[in-house]
Each structure stands twice: as structure tokens, then as C-alpha cells.
Amino acid sequence: MNIRRKLATGLVVSLCGLTAISSHAEAQHYSPEPMCKTTDSQTGIAAQAHQQIADTPRGPIAYYRLGKGSPLVLVTGFRATLTEWDAAFLTDLAKYHDVIVFDNRGVGRSEPNANTFSIEDMARDTAALIDTLHLLQPTVAGWSMGGAIVQQLAIDSPASIGKMVLLSAPAPGSFGTPVSPQVEAVLSGKPGVGLRDVMGVLFPAADVDEASRCFKQDMFRPADYGKHPISAAVTAGQTDALRSWEANDAAGQALRAVRIPTLVMSGNDDSVVLQKNAEALKRLLPNARLLVVNAGGHAMMYQYPTGLARTISSFAGQQEH
């Protein structure tokens, strides 16, 4: 083979490799959106929201219901209350969906029948809420630990879900890359950890100053929610749940049989749940699409609320009202 043919063959092989990589993940670029939104969440969607309690077989679950359209259930993450969804993100989703946000067991007014905190427990709670509210195959979206809960829900109760969205979600067992001890220490709520420290792991370095000024203002803050600090028992229980998830190879194998249409989204600047987790989920789930958000951090719904909501609505199926 002459040198020109060798070079041409090498180029073809390289291009084929690039195609394989690019077909695995799609790059998503959003226009920059300012934090510190001009409309305070208290005068927007949060002002119209009223807390409700669903009396499920697994105990009462506190939730809010926003907008009209196709049902969309949002499952929040580690040591988070339902207020930690970005208000502008929820506002845009509620233009097209019946959005349900709720507190996981032990948080706020959600009181489980049993004082345990496994991912399986929280998945069953979510299934019970869906059933109690008579939701017909909703799209279920989970952020961070909430993404692990949604994966378990898909394994245990696939008929409960129409589609699923995994935002900055950890892959199970050896398929995933665990959160680093340094990041875990910041997010665990230990004394001496300040807001800026938390913002430093939730957002890319370029956005930390703005996030430190704006995060609390941009949260979903209904007037009737009250103050609900995360207890030490919940922190310990959720920490153990995530460590068990990191060892759960059986869940990873079970995901191979889950055929629910899935949108996996990861920020390429997420220092909490590394992008490798999203790539693993794309390989495990046979009907998944992976979008990697340029300059996206772990809490990218605060960075790109409109763009992210538009992507999720398009995937879930819009029904404007």
C-alpha cells in the first residue's frame, strides 16, 4: 500500500471513530441566560402555588402542582427541598405541562411510614404519588440523586412512566463514577461550609460569583412552604442511599432491559456528577438520547432555565394552554 493510500485509510478510520463518538453524545449549546431574574419568584409562579398533601399508602407526601398540559413529575436531589428548583425553569415548564414538584421522604411535610432512606424506598414513594394523583404515564425527570430514584422507578414500575429525563444523574454501581470525597464534604451540610463553597461545586468557576448572589433569589419559594431544614437523620440516610447506589451493579444490569424513552443530560463542567456517568447511562439504556450541555454545571437549570425547559418540553411533548 503506498503512502497516499495509507494516509487516506488512516483518515477514514479517524473519521469513523469521530462519528462513533459523536453519535454517542450530542453537544447542546444554549444562549447565556442571566441569573438574578428580573421577576422575583415570589411574584411569579410561586405566588400562585399552594402546598398540597397526597395521602399515599406509603405516608403523606407534600407537593405543588403548577400549570396545565401533559403530566411532568420532578424528583429532586441530595439534601434538597422542592424549593431548590429554579423558579424560571418551573415557569417555562408549566407553560406546557402539569408540573408536580414534591419533597422526598423525611423532608418538609413528606413523612414516610418507615424511617429508611434507600433509593428503592424513594422510588416506591414516587410511584405511590403518581398512583395517588392518578397520573397516566407521566414524564418523570430526576435531578442528581433524583435521577437515581427515577432509574430505580423505571426498573421497578416501568408502566408508571411514559418517558424519563435524567439530569446530572449518577449511574449505578461500577458503571458510574462516584462523587469525590471533597465534593461530598461540601454538600453534606457540615459546619463551616458556606454558600459560596456550595456554589463552587454546583456551578462552573465562571458562574460562581453570580450564583452566590442569585441562587436564593432564583429558587422556587412559595409563601406557604415555610422553613424546613434538612435533618441529620435525612442527611445520613440519603448519604447511605447514594453509597448503596454506587455499589448497585444489579441496577445497572436491570437498566439494560428498560425500554422507556429517555433523555440523559449532563453538563460538561459538572464537578459533582461527572459526565462519565451520563455516558454510562447512554450505554446501559437501549432507548436513550444523550445531550451534553456546553459550560453546564451540576445545577444547570439555574444557568439555562429557558433553554433546558424547552429541550425537556420538546422531548416530553408540548401541550400549550
Write the pLDDT tens digit of every residue in 233-252.
Answer: 999 999 999 999 999 999 99
Q: Are 317 and 70 in contact (CB under 8 A)?
A: yes
Eight-class DSSP state of 86: B
Report the b/e string of 18-27 with b at 16+ CB within 10 A. Answer: eeeeeeebee
pLDDT at 46: 86
Q: Which three cell numbers stand for residue 84?
A: 431548590
Please identify which residue in the block is written with the cell numbers 441562587: 215
Work out the average pLDDT over 102-121.
93
pLDDT of res. 6: 37
Residues 6+ apart with CB under 8 A from 72: 93, 97, 98, 99, 100, 138, 139, 140, 141, 312, 316
- The residues near 31 (Cβ < 8 Å, ≥ 6 apart) are 307
Q: Where are the alpha helices (DSSP H) in 33-113?
A: 87-93
Enumerate residues 6+ apart whose C-beta is below 8 A from 96.
Answer: 67, 69, 70, 313, 316, 318, 319, 320, 321
Residues 6+ apart with CB under 8 A from 7: none
- The pLDDT of residue 47 is 86
Measured in whole angstroms, the distance separating CA 149 from the mean position of its chain's CA atoms is 10
Percent of the chain as helix, strand, coil, to the nearest 5: 45, 15, 40
Distance of alpha carbon 220 from alpha carbon 263, whole angstroms:
24
Q: Using DSSP bridges, classify how beta strands 139-143 and 262-267 pair: parallel, antiparallel or unpaired.
A: unpaired
DSSP H helical ranges for 112-144: 119-132
The amino acid at 5:
R
Which tens digits make up the pLDDT trace of 162-216?
999 999 999 999 999 999 999 999 999 888 999 999 999 999 999 999 999 999 9
Phi, psi of 103 (to 5 degrees): -95, 135
Pick the CATH number of 28-316 from 3.30.360.10, 3.40.50.10440, 3.40.50.1820, 3.30.70.2190: 3.40.50.1820
Q: What are phi and psi of 222, to 5 degrees?
A: -60, 145
How far is residue 282's CA from residue 292's CA, in Å, rounded to a whole number?
11
**Model confidence pLDDT, tens digit, residues 21-77:** 344 899 999 999 999 986 555 568 888 899 999 999 999 999 999 999 999 999 999
On the question of pLDDT at 217 being above 60, the answer is yes
Burial class (CB in 10 A: 0-12, 13-18, 19+), 160: buried
Residue 159 burial (C-beta neighbours within 10 Å; 0-12, 13-18, 19+):
exposed
pLDDT above 70 (res 4):
no
Task: Say yes or no to pLDDT of 320 above 80.
Answer: no
Angstrom distance (rounded) from CA 86 to CA 84: 6
Query: What φ, ψ does residue 60 adopt, rounded to 5°?
Result: -70, 140
Roughly what angle, to the nearest 10 degrees, separates helices 3-24 and 275-284? 90
